[in-house]
Structure 1
Amino acid sequence: MTSLKIAVILGSTRPGRNGKAVADWVVDRAGARSGAEYELVDLADWPLPFMDEPMPPAMGRYQGEHTKAWAAKVAEFDGYVFVTPEYNHSLPGVLKNAIDFAYAEWNNKAAAIVSYGTVGGIRAAEHLRTVASAVQLAHVNQQLAFSLFTDFEDLSLFKPGAHHDAAATKLFEELESWAAAMRTVRN
């Protein structure tokens, strides 16, 4: 079996966002792993318009070149780590929109969630689980939740506590295991 490919999807494009440091931390921790290759996919590099496809993505009849390119990128991976802030008790619109642009490319793959916010982004994570289920992503139980008050200095400089390392290892183990298992479902 070839190595698993997992995208770390940075789900915020807000200027001055905290998510880049969080996503870089995830990629750094994942870099020590041998069971999968992790790649940062920053939604700031994928300027998708608000959903503009005339047909539902589940039909797979993409018309826009931006949609076709995004769907091809999503299809490259066996699994995903979504890095999401919490905006107004939910996930950012840009992340929801990016998920909505594709369908089959997400199906029968694994996902993990890393969230951050005033209460660790847990409400965004729970909403993201619902969205992930709708596109047939198997989301693992382990998640990371970073608090703006305890894991960031002055609400902006990311300085996570050392206790997150063990939780990250467990997240990667679960995700890689599920991603490998979901490969058999797709095949």
Structure 2
Amino acid sequence: MLKIAIITGSTRPGRNNAAVAQWVLEQAQQRNDASYELVDIADFNLPLLDEAFPAAYQNYQNEATKNWSAKIAEFDGYVFITPEYNHSIAPALANALSYLNAEFSNKAAGIVGYGSAMGARAVEHLRGILSELQLAHVQKTGMFSLFTDFENFSVFKPTEQSAASVQPMFDQLISWTTAMNTVRAGDMANA
């Protein structure tokens, strides 16, 4: 069975991100096409990138990096939950992604964004990073507005229309994750 991580995109105390990620996990668990797990980047206590070697070398020196690498390597695909900070992704997510490379390579990713403009600018910035990591990101995106999907900008209560944006993303993600497993199997056969 495919194994998909739902990855938080913020570590800020009081963050909305944890509630959105939990909701996305609950939606995912209603499906029977993969095993889904919430991965909270806050649990890994990653400092500002402090590895001496580029991520592509996988020559990790720090325990936090080794733990992060091992967890991410477990999965066939990912859903990134990204808030929009200053028209981009949160610094914690950019930092977490910068630690790794091969662990993400030739896998698939979906994105759920939220913010004042439904996280659209963060989603587009995240796509560039995911491309560099050789993560095949799907076109369909879950998108939520701080104005209509959060009560008092802090309690996640998605509208029916916004909630419906997540299932097409999952549908594409499962197809692409299956396809990328074939790509990785071919890579291993040719190694």
TM-score for both structures, normalised by structure 1: 0.96
Task: Indicate conservation of the 8 Å contact 2:76/2:181, yes or no.
Answer: yes
Q: Equivalents in 2 of 1:48, 1:165: separation in Å?
A: 31
- Paired residue for 1:35? 33
C-alpha displacement at 1:136, in angstroms?
0.4
Following superposition, the deviation at residue 169 of structure 1 comes to 1.4
State yes or no: 1:78 paired with 2:76: yes
**RMSD between aligned alpha carbons?**
0.9
Between the aligned partners of 2:178 and 2:62, the Cα distance in structure 1 is 31
Q: Which runs of 5+ in 2 are unaligned?
A: 186-191
Report the secondary structure of 1:138's partner residue: strand
Alpha-carbon offset, residue 111 of structure 1: 0.4
Give the match's secondary structure for 1:124. Answer: helix
Partner residue of 1:89?
87
- Please show how residues 136-175 of structure 1 align to structure 2 within 5 Å: 136-175=134-173
Identical amino acids, percent of aligned pairs: 57
1:104-183 matches, cutoff 5 A = 104-183=102-181
Structure 1 unaligned runs (5+)? none
Q: 1:185 matched to which residue of 2?
A: 183
Q: In 1, Cα distance between the equivalents of 2:40 and 2:58? A: 23
Counterpart of 2:189 in structure 1 is: none
Partner SS state of residue 6, structure 2: strand
Q: Which whole-Å CA distance do the structure 2 matches of 1:5 and 1:180 have between them? A: 10
Letter in 2 for 1:151: D
Q: Measure, in 2, the Cα distance between the counterparts of 1:127 and 1:118.
A: 16
How far 1:41 moved relative to its partner? 0.4
Per the TM alignment, residue 164 of structure 1 is displaced from its structure 2 partner at its CA by 3.0
CA distance in structure 2 between the aligned counterparts of 1:87 and 1:168, rounded to whole angstroms: 21
Following TM superposition, the consecutive aligned residue runs of length 4 or more in structure 1 with deviations greater than 6 angstroms are: none
**Please, what TM-score do these two structures have when normalized by structure 2?**
0.94
Structure 1 distance, partners of 2:18, 2:9, is: 9
Q: Please give the per-residue CA displacement for 1:40-78, whole angstroms capped at 9, x wherever unaligned.
A: 001111110111111100112112121111111110000
Q: CA deviation at 1:165?
A: 3.7
Counterpart CA distance in 1 for 2:155 and 2:4 is 26
Deviation of 1:144 after TM superposition, in Å, equals 1.1
